[in-house]
Homo-oligomer: A and B are copies of this chain.
């Protein structure tokens, strides 16, 4: 029904560099590389040094960096070129907060406006995501799956808010989401996935969304995003109070 392929880190980045899609390939490679920590916080990005690696000229790299500067992944100073944006707990906190604000609003609207098609798409996205997460929990191998998980994670959240009715809001959310991911990758060894927490949280969001329970959905999203702040992510089991019924269902396995 849905195919889960093993996708290693370098392979994903490599793939993006190969695909001659309509958008510039070096841009995508840089963007992914920045999100996934290929360049460290504040590291200089020197077009001439990177051109062989991404096989393109420094000009197109410069153009890509200008774009990325606009998105906040790199910073530029006149006559000093480009650097990967500086990470800190503070920037991470801000990114999580912005993501939360936007997702909260967009989700509320989507729950009001979402039609049957949306429910189906969300259901599908959740199943795919849940499957990957199950794989990660069962094998205990987060590192190999994490890129693919990240993709499905995005797909789930994107689908959730897709019915919000505002392309601008979705765009702003995507930007905040990717920024959040970048800082999460830098902050946590497991890139923001937690064996125990994440599965249940996604299920809680999904259940609330399908049940059109706006308040519960917002609460679930808040829990999902906010826990990162506390450095509360680990593979250890949780105190029982944070385990909802939905979480328990998730821990028991995917049974749809």
Contacts and interface: CB of A to CB of B under 8 A. Distances in A.
A98 B63 contact: no
Contacts of A70: 66-67, 69-71
Given A71-B70, A101-B105, A172 B169 contact: no
A22 B69 CA distance: 15
A72 B168 CA distance: 9
* Oligomer: number of copies: 2
A215 B94 CA distance: 23
Interface residues of A, number: 29
Interface string A22-39: 110000000000000000
Interface string A85-116: 00000010111011001100100000000000
Nearest to A93: B166
Interface in A165-180: 166-169, 171-172, 176, 179
A167 B94 contact: yes
25 contacts: A62-B63, A63-B63, A66-B70, A67-B67, A67-B69, A67-B70, A69-B70, A70-B71, A72-B168, A72-B171, A93-B166, A94-B167, A94-B168, A94-B169, A95-B168, A97-B166, A97-B168, A97-B169, A98-B172, A101-B101, A101-B102, A101-B105, A101-B169, A168-B179, A172-B172
Interface of A: 22-23, 62-63, 66-67, 69-72, 77-78, 91, 93-95, 97-98, 101-102, 105, 166-169, 171-172, 176, 179
